[in-house]
Structure 1
Amino acid sequence: MVSQPYRIYVERTDATKNMARFFAMEISSTLFGETCLTRTWGRIGRRGHSKAHHFDHEADAVELFLELTRQKRQRGYCPRQRA
């Protein structure tokens, strides 16, 4: 079981470059008791691509979650702007 929810959704938009991207991550438990980090990314308004990483320990999943979050923030991704 995952001890606390880990979920993030960030976007990166730049009208001058016709860029509208999203990146989402979530840590959850599988039916077999493994910890799973699922990443989804793509163009805003599209389904996007997904990749799942399976871990024996939640701490390993959290470590990857935080590292990927840091990388995305450095590249200019930020939480969705409210309308």
Structure 2
Amino acid sequence: MKDEPLLLTRRDPSRNMARFYMLTVEPDLFNGVALTRNWGRIGTKGRFRIELFGSRQEAEGRLAAIANRKVRRGYRMAPEG
């Protein structure tokens, strides 16, 4: 079962900045948990990274740490719709 992704965006027209950062925690094929990260300029596929963890709690802790860091740097929750 796959969880809903956390989508953060950062826009600053004066700097021509339009970025996204997407985080998802999901089970992997080996009874572990994967944290997938996808980031880049809005409108592109961006870059992609997968981190593997032994438990869901570890992966969600890492997700929270990354999300908090991004919010401190100006990212916001993307509006739904």
Same fold by TM-score greater than 0.5: yes
Deviation for aligned residue 1:57: 1.2
Deviation for aligned residue 1:59: 1.1
* RMSD of aligned alpha carbons: 1.9
The letter for the 2-side match of 1:47 is: K
TM-score with structure 1 setting the length: 0.88
Q: Distance in 2 between matches of 1:66 and 1:30?
A: 19
Aligned pair count reads 81
Q: Which residue number corresponds to residue 35 of structure 2?
A: 37
Sequence identity (%): 31
Q: Which residue number corresponds to residue 23 of structure 1?
A: 21
TM-score with structure 2 setting the length: 0.90
**Structure 1 alignment gaps of length 5 or more:** none
Runs (4+) of structure 1 exceeding 6 A deviation are none
Closer/same/farther in 2, CA of residues 6 and 55 from structure 1, 3 Å limit: farther
Matches within 5 A, 1:42-81: 42-81=40-79
Q: Which residue number corresponds to residue 11 of structure 2?
A: 13
**Structure 2 alignment gaps of length 5 or more:** none
Q: Distance in 2 between matches of 1:27 and 1:79?
A: 17
